[in-house]
């Protein structure tokens, strides 16, 4: 008789574990992995790649740094910032232009990402065969601050990911069978970026008078220091990484849209000399356009973006992302349909 409670407890535990596995399996198989949060570990990236691989429809992947990620809007009081990112705005426009089409616009923006990070990220994204890859370029990552070996990656683990023969990220076979293990990074990422945590974060910032983002004067001084050391010479490891990323795209025939992330026009002249700016941005454009232009489309800075669309020197507000999405819509549809028809 004494064994009965123990047996019941074991059966209950097994039942709960099985139920949890089933529930987590459904979550992993749903669109939940597309929710935007700051990716810091491989187990947070893998569910997003699995979603991209299995999705049957028009797939757009948006790569980049904090401009793509979009959370800068939160520090300026926008608690619904996920609905206002570039990927969200582009998703809405694509759905309007392609009614009835199954559609996924996956935001893989990484705070602080550098070209070296994006080159490594593209290596694990391209096997999932997205219809279009969209990413931004600008001058900041080519500062000498990011040329030292220890500073080349913001997330060194990206360069260490190993792919299986079928193009998946390799994980321990024993662990990969457990949906609990496979979903842990996703759950932690979602929890850290949930509305509950967002409200708590915003309240804490407000309590200590830290709302509204970083001090704009200090931020501009930091940007000026970075831009003062920007050079696109062939030895710059971030230039090498950008060229490697573009080579991957062309070698795989991946339709891509590359846009220049325009800076706040009111602040630009105060941080970099205009002639030097024209020279550097011209060099960057030539780098992107070198080689086969059929698969990589260059989109110049959006003329419709004015100072009123910016939160700071680089980051846009919700209205700014709407302007940018409008500019990117036609190139994304054009190159995406070219792949669909190939």
The pLDDT score that the predictor gives to residue 194 is 59
The pLDDT value recorded for residue 20 is 43
Whole-Å CA distances, 54 to 135, 154, 175, 271? 22, 28, 20, 45
Query: 54-158+212-340 sits in which CATH class?
Result: alpha beta
Q: Is 272 left (phi over 0), alpha (psi -120 to 50) or beta?
A: beta
| Cβ atoms of 277 and 268 closer than 8 Å | yes
Lookup: tokens for 274: 């205009």
User: Is the Cβ–Cβ distance between 255 and 60 less than 8 Å?
Assistant: no
* Residue 82 pLDDT: 95
- Residues with pLDDT less than 70, the chain: 1-31, 172-186, 189-190, 192-215, 292-293, 339-342
Tell me if 163 sits within 8 A of 127, measured CB to CB. Answer: yes
Which sequence spans correspond to the domains of the chain? Answer: 54-158+212-340
CA 93 to chain centre: 19
- Count CB atoms within 10 A of the CB of residue 181: 15
Q: Are 248 and 115 in contact (CB under 8 A)?
A: no
Residue 325 confidence (pLDDT): 98
pTM: 0.85
Q: What is the pLDDT of residue 208?
A: 43
Cβ(305)–Cβ(260) below 8 Å: no
Tell me, what's the pLDDT at 203? 54
Q: Report residue 147 CA to chain centroid gap.
A: 22
């Amino acid at each position: 008789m004494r064994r009965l409670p123990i047996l019941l407890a074991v059966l209950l535990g097994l039942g709960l574990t099985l139920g949890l596995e089933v529930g987590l399996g459904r979550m992993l198989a749903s669109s939940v992995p597309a929710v935007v949060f700051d990716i810091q570990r491989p187990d947070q990236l893998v569910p997003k790649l699995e979603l991209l691989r299995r999705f049957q429809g028009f797939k757009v992947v948006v790569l980049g740094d904090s401009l793509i990620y979009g959370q800068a809007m939160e520090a300026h009081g926008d608690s619904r910032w996920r609905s206002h990112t570039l990927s969200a705005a582009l998703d809405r426009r694509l759905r309007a232009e392609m009614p009835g089409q199954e559609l996924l616009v996956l935001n893989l923006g990484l705070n602080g990402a550098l070209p070296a990070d994006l080159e490594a990220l593209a290596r694990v994204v391209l096997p999932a065969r997205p219809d279009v890859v969209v990413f931004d370029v600008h001058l900041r990552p080519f500062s000498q601050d990011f040329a030292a070996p220890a500073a080349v990656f913001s997330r060194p683990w990206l360069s260490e990911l190993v792919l299986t023969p079928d193009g998946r990220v390799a994980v321990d076979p024993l662990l990969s069978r457990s949906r609990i293990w496979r979903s842990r990074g996703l759950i932690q990422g979602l929890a850290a970026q949930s509305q509950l945590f967002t409200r708590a974060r915003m309240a804490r910032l407000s309590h200590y008078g830290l709302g509204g983002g970083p001090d704009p004067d200090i931020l501009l001084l930091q940007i000026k220091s970075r831009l003062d050391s920007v050079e696109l010479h062939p030895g710059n490891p971030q230039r090498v990484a950008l060229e490697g990323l573009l080579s991957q795209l062309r070698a795989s025939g991946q339709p891509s849209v590359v846009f220049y992330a325009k800076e706040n026009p009111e602040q630009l002249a105060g941080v970099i000399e205009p002639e030097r700016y024209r020279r550097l941005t011209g060099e960057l454009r030539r780098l992107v356009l070198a080689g086969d232009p059929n698969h990589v489309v260059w989109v110049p800075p959006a003329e419709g973006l004015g100072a009123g669309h910016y939160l700071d020197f680089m980051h846009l507000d919700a209205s700014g992302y709407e302007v940018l999405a409008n500019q990117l819509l036609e190139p994304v549809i054009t190159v995406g349909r070219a792949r669909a028809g190939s």
